[in-house]
Chain A
């Protein structure tokens, strides 16, 4: 089954989002920062969609996406940022790195569930 990787340094967010997605029949993996996210993606080819925070220690979410595309040469995995940030500059950087979309926290699962399912298929 296709899997969604949640990358967030906040265990509160990881738990909330994971509980919601699992409760809706989706398979989920989690990572605590961008570095961990890269490692989890490398190790698990079943990951189809990444939901990632931007501001994280060790490696931020946008740098992680740039490395996914530029170093792992993985253009197949879909990435959506889930963040409190909403600045146009950051969104532009995300677009340039090839992200699919942007959600400003808080996460309202029911509003985005169908789209997430499609992107994770």
Chain B
């Protein structure tokens, strides 16, 4: 199973002369570049596309003033996203350049991409996520989903990291992850109606499934994955006893959640499909290690094969 992380970046750069260089840079740096026209930009920023950064250019607007105004609006809507500014020349100047530079975390030219590369590492890939962890999360989640939905085919997209804080979907679960090498949260996010449609088709109950059914199901999926994560990655004796907590902020109006840290979040997107009807639903899974993160202490728990009891089997005492 592929575990190399990627991140999506919005490429707001209309220069054909630099398009190939930027595309090559994205390919070399595990970035998935998404191009958006000016007329759709604000809609996209308010939508469910999860992003790591914005690759901007100093001539994206028709005028320098418009370029600065667009950057200002990006910052206002998605302040957590770093804006990386391509300029034709770092020596050049324009009326709005001071403010534009302040809105951006870095300026670069395509002649020298080393600074951009460092910024990508600093702002997007700043946390090391061990391959065994990333791969293991996908495996244990697919396994849990497979047992909960034996009649659906489950698949996972390439894992990715994001900096945005947008809440997706309509139903959202949150559970603490506490260990000696990590402290944070796992979230699952999905939409309600596709789940209800699938439940009604496969597990019809009198009166039909309602939002409480979807809530409970998401809770149980969360519980199964959380349990499997603990059993695979967190040694019982080593679980954290730290009392440190920080407030979580949920802004309903802007569908925004903050865990009190700027750290990039580890994300997985699963799709569960009913092959008979083609109906499917998506499940977004995020890990936010906001309270403690020491990947150098990460290790997978290995069991003596003789001690193992398969899930679902009864171990008698």
Interface residue ranges, A against B (CB under 8 Å): 10-13, 15, 55, 80, 83-91, 94-95, 99-108, 111-112, 115
Inter-subunit contact A103/B216 (CB<8 Å): no
Q: List 30 A-B contacts (CB under 8 A).
A: A10-B220, A13-B220, A15-B205, A55-B223, A83-B227, A84-B223, A84-B227, A84-B231, A86-B227, A87-B231, A89-B236, A90-B236, A91-B315, A95-B317, A100-B316, A100-B317, A101-B315, A102-B317, A103-B314, A104-B310, A105-B227, A105-B312, A106-B144, A106-B147, A106-B312, A108-B312, A108-B313, A111-B313, A112-B312, A115-B314
Cβ-Cβ contact count across A and B, 8 Å cutoff: 87
Contact of B217 with A by CB under 8 A:
yes
Q: Give 1 or 0 for each of B225-254: 1 = CB within 8 Å of chain A CB.
A: 011101100001100000000000000000
Interface contact A11-B212, CB-CB below 8 Å? yes
Q: Which of A102, A104, A106, A115 contacts B148 (CB 8 A)?
A: A106
Residues in B whose Cβ lies below 8 Å from that of A10: 216, 219-220, 223
Residues of A contacting B144 in the complex (Cβ-Cβ under 8 angstroms) = 106
Instruction: Let me know if B314 and A102 touch, CB within 8 A.
Output: yes
CB distance from A25 to the nearest CB of B (A): 19
What B residues does A112 contact at CB under 8 A?
312-314
Set A84, A90, A102, A106: member contacting B315, Cβ < 8 A: A102
Top 7 nearest A-B pairs by Cβ distance?
A: A84-B227, A108-B312, A87-B236, A106-B147, A12-B220, A104-B311, A11-B216
Chain B: CB-nearest residue to A11:
B216
B128 at the interface (CB under 8 A from A): no
Contact A111 B312 (CB under 8 A): yes
Within 8 A of A (CB), among B291-317: 309-317
Residues of B in contact with A, size category: 20 to 34
A111 touches B314 (CB 8 A): yes
Asked whether B237 lies within 8 Å of A89 as measured between CB atoms, the reply is yes
Q: Which of B217, B226, B310 contacts A84 (CB 8 A)?
A: B226
- Contacting residues, chain B, for A99 (C-beta < 8 A): 317
Shortest Cβ distance from B226 into A: residue:
A84
The answer to the question of B224 belonging to the interface, with a C-beta cut-off of 8 Å to chain A, is yes
Within the complex, what minimum Cβ distance (angstroms) separates A7 from chain B? 14
CA of A13 to CA of B223, assembled, Å: 11
The minimal Cβ–Cβ distance linking B207 to chain A, given in whole angstroms, is: 13
Find out whether the CB atom of A80 lies under 8 angstroms from the CB atom of B227: no
In the complex, which residue of chain B has the Cβ closest to the Cβ of A8?
A: B220
Residues of A within 8 A of B212 (CB): 11
Q: Find the B residue at minimum CB distance from A53.
A: B223
Q: How far is the CA of A102 from the CA of B311 in the complex (A)?
A: 10
Name which residue of chain B comes closest to A88, CB basis. B236
B238 to chain A, nearest CB (A): 11
Cα separation A95 to B224 with both chains bound (whole Å):
23
Given pairs A89-B237, A105-B312, A106-B312, 11 additional interface contacts (CB within 8 A): A55-B223, A80-B314, A86-B309, A99-B317, A103-B315, A104-B227, A106-B144, A106-B147, A106-B224, A108-B311, A112-B314
Say whether A12 contacts B236, CB under 8 Å: no
**B228 contacts A84, CB within 8 Å?**
yes
